[in-house]
Amino acid sequence: ADKIVTFFTHRYGKIQGVAKGARRLKSKFGASLEPITHINLIYFGKENTNLYKINSCDILEPFSKCKDDLDKLKRVLFLCDLINSTLHEQDVNLKVFELLLKTLHIFTEIEGLERLDTAMDIFSLRFLSAVGFAPKLTHCVYCNKNPSYDYRGSNGIGFHVVKGGIVCGDCLPASEDSIKTNSGIINFIKKSISINPSNLDRLILSREMERDLHKIIRLYIYAHIDREIKSYDFLN
């Protein structure tokens, strides 16, 4: 009847706890242990232990709109899976915690697959930047040249998913693991990372550009995150 639950906290990072009797029909925890629920958590245990004892959970925000809509649910579960697969236990990252909360609130307000996918990709970009995988967007990862001059050149511009940065038109033809893209997507990536979090919901892409951006981010995650993101199969 007990349940082991993983929590992402703003003070102590990712932790695990055992909730006694949580699987019982009349458990005191109720819906507070459902995935994607913002709670006030009280737990006990020795410092740096691997498994805490959960005393109580009070719901602060259930994010019901994210759970009741399958399209939203799939994408939000991916965000949680990305965090869980990347961060180690007790790895505190307040920036990621606040980013997740902000993104969940955005998901409750927006509609349409295009906007949902854009919000998911913006989260991924900001998350990767927060955990040390910020893309290099000012100079070519090969020749260190500022590629702004050839955005409209015959070879265009690329993004190298392994090196994690842009590739100028001169270097692009001989570059493996690079995806040809355009200045619009590169500028969108820059804005996604640098914009004030309160304005994230203002960033919008066309469906075609969103597909190209999603491909870049998916391959970028595969190249830099060691663990498998299982929810990708569910997402697709």
Read off the pLDDT of residues 197-224 as tens digits, 9 standing for 90 and up.
778 778 888 888 899 999 999 999 999 9
Which regions of the chain does DSSP assign to beta strands (E)? 3-9, 13-19, 38-44, 52-61, 157-160, 165-167, 178-181
Give yes or no for a contact between 37 and 7, defined as CB atoms under 8 angstroms apart: no
Mean pLDDT of the chain: 89
Contact yes or no for 113/146 (Cβ under 8 A): no
Q: What value does the mean pLDDT take over residues 65-93?
A: 94
Q: Which residue has the higher pLDDT, 236 or 3?
A: 3
Give all domains of the chain, ordered by start, each with its CATH number. Answer: 1-62 (2.40.50.140), 64-236 (1.20.1440.120)
Q: How far apart are CA 110 and CA 113, in angstroms?
A: 9
- Residue 33 CA to residue 152 CA, distance in Å, equals 51
**pLDDT of 148:** 63
Q: How far, in Å, CA of 79 to CA of 15, rounded? A: 17
Question: What's the CA gap between 160 and 142, in Å, rounded?
Answer: 10
Q: Which residue has the higher pLDDT, 209 or 234?
A: 209
SS3 content of the chain, % helix, strand, coil (to 5): 45, 20, 35
Mean pLDDT of 82-96: 93
- Among 37-41, 43-47, 64-68, 106-110, the minimum mean pLDDT is found in 43-47
Contact 133, 125 (CB under 8 A): no
Give percent of the chain with pLDDT exceeding 70.
96
Instruction: Report the pLDDT value the prediction gives residue 152, as an integer from 0 to 100.
Output: 47
Specify the DSSP class assigned to residue 88. Answer: P
For 109-147, the pLDDT digits (tens) are: 999 988 899 999 999 999 999 999 999 999 999 999 887
